[in-house]
Amino acid sequence: MNGRYIILAAAAAALASAGGCVERRVTITSQPEGALVFFADEEIGRTPLTIPFLFYGDREVILRKQGYQTLQTHADLKPPVYDVPPFDLFSQALVPWTYHYHVHEHYVMSPQELPEESGLIERADQLKGEVPAK
């Protein structure tokens, strides 16, 4: 009887150590390529790029590139079914393989629009007239 418990405990330990996990990655691309990316308030590089992430949720994404308008948007990283409670217990503890979750986010940037010179001069004259005299 005592040997049975030892075998059972060894099997449980083997099963627990063989548990799987989830590798989460997000790939960010842009049109045009080479935009500087800020992901969740952290500068992470230039597009195209792939980074790992730990937690799902809404992340702020900012893209900047000279000659293009700064793009400020969000990436909503939603979990797959196998990573939502109570299913995550099985996918991360009892399954002996690794799940690979990969999200692709693509953003299109607009060219920077420069105002015409005549409009700038008119606006400067308007502002000059609004400045109080000293």
Which residue in this structure is represented by tokens 């049975």?
4
Task: Work out how many domains the chain is built from and give that number.
Answer: 1
Cβ atoms within 10 A of the Cβ of 53, count?
A: 16
Domain containing residue 70: CATH number: 2.60.40
Looking at residue 11, its pLDDT comes to 58
Domain containing 54 equals 20-111
The answer to whether residue 31 sits within a structural domain is yes
Would residue 119 count as lying in a domain? Answer: no
What proportion of the chain, given as a percentage, has pLDDT over 90? 47
CA pair distance 103, 88, nearest whole angstrom: 18
Domain assignment of residue 10, yes or no: no
| pLDDT digits 0-9 by tens, 56-94 | 999 999 999 999 999 999 999 999 887 888 877 777 777
8 Å CB contact between 81 and 51:
no
